[in-house]
Amino acid sequence: MADHTHHAADVPQLALNSGYDIPQLGYGTFKVESAQAEKFVLEALQLGYRHIDTAALYGNEEGVGAAIRASGIPREELFVTTKLWNDRQSGDQPRQSLQESLDRLGLEYVDLFLIHWPAPANGQFVNAWKQLISLGDTDTVRSIGVSNFLVEHLEQLHAETGRLPAVDQIELHPRHQQREVVQWCQERGIRIEAWGPLGQGKYDIAEIPAIRDAAAAHGKTPAQVVLRWHIQNGNIVFPKSVNSSRIRENLEIFDFELSDAQIAQIDALDPGDGSGRVGHDPRTAN
Ligand code: NAD
């Protein structure tokens, strides 16, 4: 029999413009292969995570689905996101790609379906968005959104369809804070999901004095301070780890609060010239 002794952790729910709620903290699965995902997503669910972020690109939807079934947690208590890869944006490929993702996940619906990148050189993201809008009217998708969209891409979606996404999932961490797109989204009720919330480990957050000092002051780790900074700034996060103690640690961020001064010191860590970015540039990635 499934283990029902575990409980959902004390994670805030944020309202989306679709009318659905999203848990503000989840578990990310980029670079987690399918067999690993089966093990660590189950572990995350048993610890109290209820929100899982995957993508067709990650090649782990089968493992994610197996973990969900093994958890025994009722489907309606979970929030599952997947994403449309760039080579499936044209024609009715988005519809087919979603069905393939649902089949791999073993789910009837996803809570959130995202266009993974605008890939503007392909000229297909508005078509993909129209397809997602029509999928949003079916019972296979609850909310629709985008990822890695900059203001110019969001403005084009809005101009051509009149419909805004529920979320924009963008690279966002202390050294790359994307203030322009964040402000544009905040003014229009679009939630920000921060990918790479810890900078993907590509710079050492523990060596940054503002983060190190706040961690010492609260008896928390540097990762917990950075995740807490995201939460207090209103971002949705889903840090990735395949280390059991870190998976637990990343969930234990709801029992302390950073001061306004501590938040401001982390807000000040973006060099302001784009040099803090660790991933691809959405204008050229495809
Ligand atoms: P992340 O910032 O979550 O960094 C993950 C790395 O941080 C891990 O490999 C680990 O080395 C380290 N880490 C995790 N917990 C730690 C802890 N407590 N202490 C110290 N180190 C710790 O980066 P990510 O995985 O790229 O981003 C999170 C999720 O966002 C992904 O798993 C994926 O679901 C999503 N994502 C989306 C896109 C996109 O284009 N939409 C791109 C990248 C990631």
Query: Could you list the mean pLDDT of each consecutive 10-residue stretch along the chain, which spans 286 residues?
Result: 57 98 98 97 98 98 98 98 98 98 98 98 98 96 98 98 98 98 98 98 97 98 98 98 98 97 98 96 93
Please tell me the distance between residue 192's alpha carbon and the centre of ligand 1 in angstroms: 16
- Its domain, for residue 94, covers 13-267
Q: What pLDDT score does 286 carry? A: 84
Residue 8 forms part of a structural domain? no
> Is 49 marked active-site?
no
Closest CA to 227 of 242, 247, 209: 247
Q: What is the pLDDT of residue 116?
A: 98
Number of domains into which the chain is organized: 1
pLDDT confidence of residue 284 = 95
What is the signed CA dihedral for 60, 181, 281, 25, rounded to 10 degrees? Answer: -30
User: In angstroms, what is the span from residue 173 Cα to ligand 1's centroid?
Assistant: 10
Residues 6+ apart with CB under 8 A from 243: none
Q: Is residue 279 part of a domain?
A: no
The pocket around ligand 1, CB under 6 angstroms, is made up of 28-30, 53, 116, 147-148, 169, 195-201, 223, 238-241, 246, 249-250
Where are the strands (E) in 117-156, listed by range? 141-147
* Pair 203, 226: CB distance under 8 Å: no
Could you tell me which of 146, 52, 4, 217 has the C-alpha nearest to residue 228? 217
What pLDDT does 219 receive?
Answer: 98
Is 276 among the domain residues? no
Structural domain contains residue 217: yes
The pLDDT of residue 8 = 76
Q: Whose CA is nearest to atom 20 of ligand 1?
A: 223
Q: Is the residue at 1 inside a domain?
A: no
Q: Which of 58, 148, 195, 224 to mutate to test ligand 1, by most ligand atoms within 8 A of the CB atom?
A: 195
In a domain, 67, yes or no: yes
Q: Is the pTM of this model over 0.85?
A: yes
**According to the model, what pLDDT value does residue 3 have?**
43
Q: What is the pLDDT of residue 5?
A: 42
What residue's CA is closest to ligand 1, atom 9? Answer: 241
* Domain assignment present for 3: no
Give the closest residue (by CA) to ligand 1 atom 24.
196
What is the CATH classification number for the domain harbouring 25? 3.20.20.100
Compute CA distances 206 → 17, 144, 210, whole Å.
Answer: 36, 35, 9
- Output DSSP code: residue 147: E
Residue pair 127/89 in contact by the 8 Å Cβ criterion: yes
Any domain includes 277: no
